[in-house]
Structure 1
Amino acid sequence: MSEVNKIDMFKNDVRYRENIAHIETIPAKKPSFKKVDNLNQKIVDYLDSKNVKLYLHQAETYESIKDGEHVIITTPTASGKTLAFNLPIMETMIEDKDATALYIYPAKALSNDQLHVLENLEKELDIKINPRTYDGDTPREDKRGIREKSRIVLTNPYQLHLILSWHHQWSKFYKNLRYIVIDESHYYKGVFGSNVAFLIKRLKRIANFYGSYPQFILSSATLANPLELANRLTGEEFKLVDNDTSPSGEKDFILYNPFKNYVRKKINNQAAPSVHMETENIFMYMMLKNIQTLCFTVSRKTTELIAMWAKKDMNQVKGQLAHRIAAYRAGYQAQERREIEDGLKSGKYLGVTCTNALELGIDIGSLDAVIISGYPGTMISTWQQAGRAGRSNQKSLAILIAFENQLDQYFMNNPEFFFDKPHENAIIDLTNPILQDAHLLCAAKELPLQRGEAEKYFGISQDVIDKLVDNKDLHENHRGDFMYPYDDNPAMDHSLDQISSEEFKIMNNGQLLETMERSQVYREAHEGAILINKGDTYVVNSVNLKNGYVNVSKEAVDYHTMVLNQTDINIKKKLSKTKYGDLTIHFGELTVSEDYFKYKKMHFSKVIGTYPLELPPLKFNTKGLWFTIPKRVKDTLEDMFPNEEEVFAGGLHGAEHALIGLFPLHTMCDRFDIGGLSTNYHEDTQEATIFIYDGYEGGIGICEKAVDVFIDLLNSTIDLLENCQCQSGCPACIYSPKCGNDNKPLHKNATKYILKYMSDLISKNIPEEDVKAEVIIENEVIPDEFDEAYELYEKGDYSSSKDVLNSIISNDKKHAPSLALMARILYEQDQKDIALLFTKKALSSDRSNEMANELEVLLTNKPQKETVELKSLDDVETLYEEAYDLYEQGDLATSSEILENLLDFDDKNSEALALMGLIYYHSGMFPKAIEYYKKASKINKNGEMVKELKMRVA
């Protein structure tokens, strides 16, 4: 039976055809060629020997590179991008015996694959370039030879990040550096992309130091903003080559919906379909038909599960095929990854489950089919994964299996949107202050920073350098250069994959299993969690948060775990508000606290037990958007549904979930890159509020972009709910797979009402096409407000001055002049304890503030207590007792200082919150006392201090 017939059989199989939502047949395409003049004779002979004619886009790429332009190529998978940029580089290598080139790949698998291509070119062209891979797997004894002899070096950002400070060992290579190739550049988005952009600018600075100004060549999948991405990554202007003139075979792209004929009701006799089981069934079908298949999944855990299930089932059906199944994901040892890569190429493996680690351009010519289990989050990834099948012009098959979530179901119900959807913008944020600081320290370690270089190479103002000097992170020498003053390498402390540099080691009987960062440990490797690694299950026995270790033991279990968490948000600083008609979307800096308080044991979708967790909260500062819903909406909903509880809360919660679910439709992000919170009342806004925020320290630009496309996001969310057939909410509309509140409360009809209310605010009396965004930068009004507060203070109107200052501080909690003036007023009102608290806040924001420094002298007549570094809940209890004793003695300022330190570590400590509320009460700041009572009573209304505070504020 031909491969074509075997592939066509699937869509007609009675077991699967009823769940097919759409089949898009992508026709075969013929090539267009172009002859290139003046090619080096060795190149001509090589192409003739291989019977290769250059496609039109390859010729255009070659000519642009030879003209000295920076080039980005964005043609699809298997269109010959690699040959297009390798030819001009090889020609330069032939003509200039000293020329060097650096190839940067986002994954080791891809660099290993391309090394073989370059080695073959070296042999065929009879030139000496000694191409070598230089990464964490390179043997130590080989590294010196590579540095001295290799003219083409292949590496990845992780290795480059660590070795840039050793540039003196690479002086010959950098001096002759002609080309920097950044392959799969669409991969550089979000946190990783933002880090790599800073890294490339550090690399440019090193090359310039050695007198070279290399030409950049980028290859990428199709993007909405390729030129912007190339510029942000490198700081250079680019020529775009995007017209694909290569041939391709016919491909059937099937949208497969396990939920097509399933309607979720309040009482269901029919069990909900399992996407994982459906994926395994189709994966098995393909292998039993001898169709070599890659199965992409959305998580490492799912990759392992489906391979494990398939091996077990294949042993029962056709045992000789079980050993031809493998799982592939990040975290495996290098030799394990390479064995699977080679096994795919040779045909040893018939079916491989994988994460997006195999999404990149490894050439696997024999693949017939790709299964994509769950929408990968972007159209770019979707088409990259689908492109793994169908090389060499043969007919191929791609199947997207939909989860029961908002995005997947939207595509199943709108196939024309899926196939016509333009590709996304790749978001890189170069304004994240944590990333800026980290890379400036790395740059200063590599070479002392001269004044003006931060702006020239990184677009960062001198003020940031000055702050690093003030904090003793940098030192200014006698020449005015800024040096890193310590012996360590700051690159070792800064991970490119995350903003936090904390790494936990997962240990089994003293052996390293894998590594994770802290938030991943909280989600996947908390005490009692089940980890899956290479098909084996491990139980987490203990977590050492202080030393960064997780101890596990191998154990066969038939359940998995899911963690629950609660989120709290404080608005640190309002940056802007955007008005669409009568709807206002705020954007600003937020402090997010996530409390992981329990987890569930689950057998498939059945809960078999719930267990408490004792973990300190995760706190981070980020950026996000928010909007408020007025009380009249709550009143209307309660009138509409008089016999139902938590209608308004369920509507807010549902709107939050549904909007977040469709975020990736409009911004290039993963649904897990963002978080949200909905609340009936928020202290900072004084109204019901929905927050959506970047899930990374400092923010990475996702929500800032979402503000610009908010109308489209709102309209598609309304459309999603209108077309969902469920009765009261389901994963396809308002449920969220990562909801820390176990998807409670939720109310579908209230959600629809709230979203429609927002839409009406936008378009009320205004045709939709005439709605314009009015953007107001909120912190630009602060100087005028402060001048007003100061004038009122000078007139002796302390009460009005404090009102204005409170307004400023609610917008910007670190506005030192306002904090200092508030302290001065409190001091003059003889509230010295609380005045000292505001003085310290002012000085922590700006140590040079003159008024705060004067007040510190006036208010401080005893040695400062050394701040205790909190490491455990025992420390919290000790500090609380100390704060309580000081409160009893009347030393409110020191007590509040200790409580602030305590609450930074454990902001769910109800007794500490209540004690802080009592301090505010005794200082005459009654609104703050009420605010802290609300926080404390929400956690534990029966606490001793909570009851005392309640009695005071009542």
Structure 2
Amino acid sequence: MPTSAHQCESANVTSPATVTPGPVPDPAGLLRRWRSAGQLPRQAGEARSVPDGGWSDPVTHVERLPARPGTTAPWPAWVPDQLRDALAGRGVREPWQHQAYAAELAHSGRHVVVATGTGSGKSLAYLLPALSTLLADPRATVLYLAPTKALAADQLRAVTGLGLDGVRPACYDGDTPQAERAWIRQHARFVLTNPDMLHRGILPGHNAWSHFLRRLTYVIVDECHSYRGVFGSHVAHVLRRLRRQTERYHRARPGGPAGPVFILASATSGEPARAARQLTGLPVEPVTEDSAPRGAVTFALWEPPLLPGARADTEDLTPVRRSALRESADLLADAVAAGVRTLAFVRSRRGAEVVANTARRALEEVVPGLGTRVAAYRAGFLAEERRALERSLIHGDLLGLASTNALELGVDLVGLDAVLICGYPGTRASLWQQAGRAGRAGREALAVLIARDDPLDTYLVHHPEAVFGRPVEATVLDPTNPYVLGPQLCCAAAEAALTPADVELFGGAVVKQTLDELVAAGLLRRRPTGWYWTAPGRPDVDLRGEGGAPINVVEAATGRLLGTVDPGSSHFLVHPGAVYLHQGVSYVVDDLDLEGACALVHAEEPDWSTHAREVTSLDVVSVREYQDAGPVGLFVGDVDVTSQVVSYQRRRIGSGEVLDTRPLDLPARQLRTVAVWFTVSPASLTAAGVDPAEVPGALHAAQHAAIGLLPLVATCDRWDIGGLSTASHADTEAPTVFVYDGHPGGAGFAERAYQAARTWLGATRDLIAACGCDTGCPSCVQSPKCGNGNNPLGKADAVRVLDVVLTNLPEPIDAAETLADPAANPG
């Protein structure tokens, strides 16, 4: 949320007072205008109407968050005058109370996590002790970790801009030229990097970093709420490996401290101290009381209107909503035309390109040249492209930006008036983080959540209490995941032999068992002095669980590198024949070489888009826990999932008409993971009115909706999870619905679903029953990732299935499972 004129932004120490904007538009006024019929430009045949020709207000709820004054505190006595003067030059006259409290904790040697709202100045909370120490002790060093390169680069600009003598800040990441890296290792005192570079570059070469590690005083872990699931579990072990090495080097300094102080910064999140302890393995003090001022915010929930007529590719009359991407593009174009500086968050890389492209075209029709004020920003761009876009946005050359969540984090975006959120981002923590990007100092801001045709989005825009009346989720991660723990122990052993003391550091008894398995597999060798890595090279471990090197997207005719795609998405995004978008230009993929990690493309502007289709099979390996509820069984356990992208559809742009389906010859992929599943006896289904012939469609519909609603109880989105349903599974011998984590070894989502099953499945049942469609639609039981073309689906029977499940499952023992929570809005 916005800050006052004398306070720093969340990821910068640049005060909004240093920006000299022109006349500030009224962002909330836009909302009033948008709610009037006919105000937005439309494509031919896309009049804003419902099938009966009437007008439907797209806004389902408006939440007003009032302005809040801030509370300051005196400067801590240990802050040097040089730093105070530098901050005063940036408009920071005094710290907010929570900043001073967190800084005092860290300065006294206590590990701390600051979990306050967006724009609350968390950066100053960690910069005060870090920079003060660097100025007071010319030998001290500081390590800053960010989940994205953009955030680290932004922090570098902030620290460099203070002009402090002797701090010598520098970014050390994959974009750092080789010629600069040796200088950084030897001379930089404030090193900004990311967990991937710490894992692959710094820790394996810790001998070359010995001077830096020996003097390491603070480790800053920014945006730590983003370390969840498999990625978060890996990062937890990377931080333990860092602690292990710093303690070794600190012991070489007689009388020196045992290790650095950890300062973590997080968006408002549930149980931040618990999540921080899981990440670091250390006792952590939470600071959650936000004393920064906040400007007023208008937050609207927006459901795109229904389009008249039947679906273009079928003969049924299922109501179809206008695309959230097209709706977001029109709102972005209208905001830019009105001079409102706007950021549109879009779920996918392709979606960000589509929104930016559509908005540009609309603006060019109105004012030639205005389209150049809009751009796309996403992962996969080359480093120089990202930096240029960041500069253009900060300096105001761009008025509108369509971005993936790459800009969700604390990059300094001073001066934005409005944020459009195209589709629920998966967690309330991300929702509030994205919404908080808007707001000039002391002025009203506008945030709009634009619902996709998706069960979860539909549920949320019609249940605002699930957005505004609940605290944000706790971060879910599982460092004991064997697919994480084993590889990370190998990495640690490759850096230095593991000792019995390290067993406790990395997790205790489960670590000893894993070490025995690694020795049996020949990966480690047990000696009296510890466990040793046996191979000549180092382990190749991917922190983000993407399964190997990124796929390079190369223009075949020129050899030009356009960007990259992560391996896990390559089968869907750059399969042969796929349409690939890059900065508004479309390409068609000629060839995908998975072994060579390269996709060759040529420029083309087809009038169709591509959509990959996947088939899946699942085998139960073991059951960890279960509930026997008579005709219903609820289970959580380990499963083997086999999936393969077998074909893709070409759909005409605009109408969605399916032109054809083309086969693909891509390898199957195997996944050992964790699933939650329920079984229902055939007799109970018959008694509930579900005909045996309709059971497959009923279970399939329930599975789709359950996947869509799982983010209500776990910090995931539907793309983190998968599912399968069958009228008679070979392992359960009963009608069964499975929902599984889409990561090797699991990510904690299935376990959370098992614990909160009644809440999760109850919301799923209510969503399906409340949807106004007759036979099922994308808002309730249709899925955008269904490998069977959303067939068969039985909407009414899915409600009957879930009624049987909910009738028989016992009430939850743990009150934490309940969905409703009267806690104050975290925004």
Matched, 1:132 2:165: no
Aligned twin of 1:746: 793
Q: Which has the higher helix share?
A: 1
Aligned twin of 1:181: 220
1:488-499 map, 5 Å: 488-490=537-539, 493-498=540-545
Aligned twin of 2:695: 648
Aligned with residue 471 of structure 1, among 514, 521, 529: 521
1:151-203: per-residue Cα shift (whole Å, max 9, x none)?
Answer: 11111111111121111111111111110000000010112111111111111
Supply the distance in 1 between the matched residues of 2:575 and 2:92 (Cα, whole angstroms).
58
TM superposition shift of 1:391: 3.5
TM superposition shift of 1:59: 1.5
Is the CA contact (8 Å cut-off) linking 1:625 and 1:703 kept in structure 2? yes
1:856-882: per-residue Cα shift (whole Å, max 9, x none)?
Answer: xxxxxxxxxxxxxxxxxxxxxxxxxxx
Supply the distance in 2 between the matched residues of 1:89 and 1:681 (Cα, whole angstroms).
60
Supply the distance in 1 between the matched residues of 2:98 and 2:592 (Cα, whole angstroms).
54
TM superposition shift of 1:377: 0.7
Aligned twin of 2:262: 216
Matched, 1:83 2:124: yes
Change over 3 Å in CA distance of 1:140–1:640 after alignment to 2 = closer
Aligned twin of 1:610: 661
Matched, 1:234 2:273: no
Is the CA contact (8 Å cut-off) linking 2:381 and 2:564 kept in structure 1? no
Aligned with residue 372 of structure 2, among 309, 320, 323: 323
Aligned twin of 1:732: 779
Supply the distance in 2 between the matched residues of 1:383 and 1:773 (Cα, whole angstroms).
22
Supply the distance in 1 between the matched residues of 2:684 and 2:307 (Cα, whole angstroms).
35
TM superposition shift of 1:762: 2.2
TM superposition shift of 1:760: 1.1
TM superposition shift of 1:505: 3.1
Change over 3 Å in CA distance of 1:602–1:391 after alignment to 2 = same
TM superposition shift of 1:617: 1.8
Supply the distance in 1 between the matched residues of 2:773 and 2:671 (Cα, whole angstroms).
37
Aligned twin of 1:872: none
Is the CA contact (8 Å cut-off) linking 1:248 and 1:391 kept in structure 2? no
What secondary structure, in the 3-state scheme, does the structure 2 residue paired with 1:393 have?
A: coil
Structure 1 segments unaligned to the other structure (5+ residues): 775-954
Change over 3 Å in CA distance of 1:271–1:78 after alignment to 2 = closer
Aligned twin of 1:159: 197
1:861-872 map, 5 Å: none
Aligned with residue 170 of structure 1, among 193, 209, 226: 209
Aligned twin of 2:5: none
Kindly provide the amino acid, as one letter, of the partner of residue 200 in structure 2: L
Kindly provide the amino acid, as one letter, of the partner of residue 171 in structure 2: T
1:249-398 map, 5 Å: 249-259=295-305, 267-268=316-317, 272-398=321-447
Kindly provide the amino acid, as one letter, of the partner of residue 83 in structure 1: L
Aligned with residue 101 of structure 1, among 142, 153, 158: 142
Supply the distance in 2 between the matched residues of 1:312 and 1:106 (Cα, whole angstroms).
33
Aligned twin of 1:942: none
1:201-235: per-residue Cα shift (whole Å, max 9, x none)?
Answer: 11111101101511000000011121111011100
Supply the distance in 2 between the matched residues of 1:461 and 1:6 (Cα, whole angstroms).
54
Kindly provide the amino acid, as one letter, of the partner of residue 701 in structure 1: G
Change over 3 Å in CA distance of 1:272–1:183 after alignment to 2 = closer
TM superposition shift of 1:621: 0.8
TM superposition shift of 1:458: 4.2
Supply the distance in 2 between the matched residues of 1:67 and 1:697 (Cα, whole angstroms).
40
Is the CA contact (8 Å cut-off) linking 1:578 and 1:707 kept in structure 2? no
Is the CA contact (8 Å cut-off) linking 2:346 and 2:423 kept in structure 1? yes
1:540-689 map, 5 Å: 540-579=589-628, 583-604=632-653, 605-636=656-687, 646-689=693-736
Change over 3 Å in CA distance of 1:508–1:762 after alignment to 2 = same
What secondary structure, in the 3-state scheme, does the structure 2 residue paired with 1:392 have?
A: coil
Supply the distance in 1 between the matched residues of 2:391 and 2:731 (Cα, whole angstroms).
57
1:249-304: per-residue Cα shift (whole Å, max 9, x none)?
Answer: 11111111114798999843976422221111111110110111111101000001
What secondary structure, in the 3-state scheme, does the structure 1 residue paired with 2:588 have?
A: strand
TM superposition shift of 1:58: 1.2
Supply the distance in 1 between the matched residues of 2:567 and 2:85 (Cα, whole angstroms).
55
Is the CA contact (8 Å cut-off) linking 2:631 and 2:684 kept in structure 1? no
Kindly provide the amino acid, as one letter, of the partner of residue 385 in structure 1: Q
Aligned length: 760
Change over 3 Å in CA distance of 1:511–1:333 after alignment to 2 = same
What secondary structure, in the 3-state scheme, does the structure 2 residue paired with 1:210 have?
A: helix
Supply the distance in 2 between the matched residues of 1:502 and 1:586 (Cα, whole angstroms).
35
Q: TM-score, normalised by structure 1?
A: 0.77
1:472-512: per-residue Cα shift (whole Å, max 9, x none)?
Answer: 212335x433222333232xx22111163354333322333
Kindly provide the amino acid, as one letter, of the partner of residue 69 in structure 2: K
TM superposition shift of 1:2: 6.0
TM superposition shift of 1:522: 1.7
Aligned twin of 1:709: 756
Is the CA contact (8 Å cut-off) linking 2:382 and 2:562 kept in structure 1? no
Asked which structure has the greater RCO (Cα within 8 Å, sep 6+), the reply is 2
Supply the distance in 1 between the matched residues of 2:320 and 2:233 (Cα, whole angstroms).
44
Aligned with residue 553 of structure 2, among 493, 500, 506: 506
Supply the distance in 1 between the matched residues of 2:563 and 2:161 (Cα, whole angstroms).
35
Is the CA contact (8 Å cut-off) linking 2:518 and 2:524 kept in structure 1? yes
Is the CA contact (8 Å cut-off) linking 2:593 and 2:599 kept in structure 1? yes
Is the CA contact (8 Å cut-off) linking 2:27 and 2:445 kept in structure 1? no
TM superposition shift of 1:561: 0.7
Aligned with residue 10 of structure 1, among 23, 31, 45: 31
Change over 3 Å in CA distance of 1:286–1:575 after alignment to 2 = same
Supply the distance in 1 between the matched residues of 2:780 and 2:431 (Cα, whole angstroms).
22
Matched, 1:39 2:78: yes
Change over 3 Å in CA distance of 1:594–1:457 after alignment to 2 = closer
Kindly provide the amino acid, as one letter, of the partner of residue 579 in structure 2: I
1:315-362: per-residue Cα shift (whole Å, max 9, x none)?
Answer: 222112111111100011111101100101110001111000000111
Is the CA contact (8 Å cut-off) linking 1:589 and 1:623 kept in structure 2? yes
Change over 3 Å in CA distance of 1:277–1:461 after alignment to 2 = closer
Kindly provide the amino acid, as one letter, of the partner of residue 524 in structure 2: L
1:790-809 map, 5 Å: none
What secondary structure, in the 3-state scheme, does the structure 2 residue paired with 1:18 have?
A: coil
Q: TM-score, normalised by structure 2?
A: 0.88
1:691-713: per-residue Cα shift (whole Å, max 9, x none)?
Answer: 11111111111101111111111
Q: Percent identity?
A: 36
Supply the distance in 2 between the matched residues of 1:622 and 1:692 (Cα, whole angstroms).
11
What secondary structure, in the 3-state scheme, does the structure 2 residue paired with 1:203 have?
A: helix
Change over 3 Å in CA distance of 1:572–1:564 after alignment to 2 = same
Matched, 1:56 2:97: yes
Shifted more, 467-476 versus 722-731: the winner is 467-476
What secondary structure, in the 3-state scheme, does the structure 1 residue paired with 2:777 have?
A: coil
Aligned with residue 67 of structure 2, among 28, 43, 61: 28
Shifted more, 275-284 versus 4-13: the winner is 4-13
Shifted more, 408-417 versus 345-354: the winner is 408-417
TM superposition shift of 1:596: 2.0
1:62-111: per-residue Cα shift (whole Å, max 9, x none)?
Answer: 22112211000011111111112111222222222211110001111111
Supply the distance in 1 between the matched residues of 2:226 and 2:744 (Cα, whole angstroms).
20
Is the CA contact (8 Å cut-off) linking 1:601 and 1:608 kept in structure 2? yes
1:392-416: per-residue Cα shift (whole Å, max 9, x none)?
Answer: 1211111111111111111111112
Kindly provide the amino acid, as one letter, of the partner of residue 697 in structure 2: G
Aligned twin of 1:141: 179
Aligned with residue 487 of structure 1, among 514, 531, 536: 536
Kindly provide the amino acid, as one letter, of the partner of residue 781 in structure 2: I
Is the CA contact (8 Å cut-off) linking 2:27 and 2:444 kept in structure 1? no
Is the CA contact (8 Å cut-off) linking 1:300 and 1:329 kept in structure 2? yes
Is the CA contact (8 Å cut-off) linking 2:382 and 2:563 kept in structure 1? no
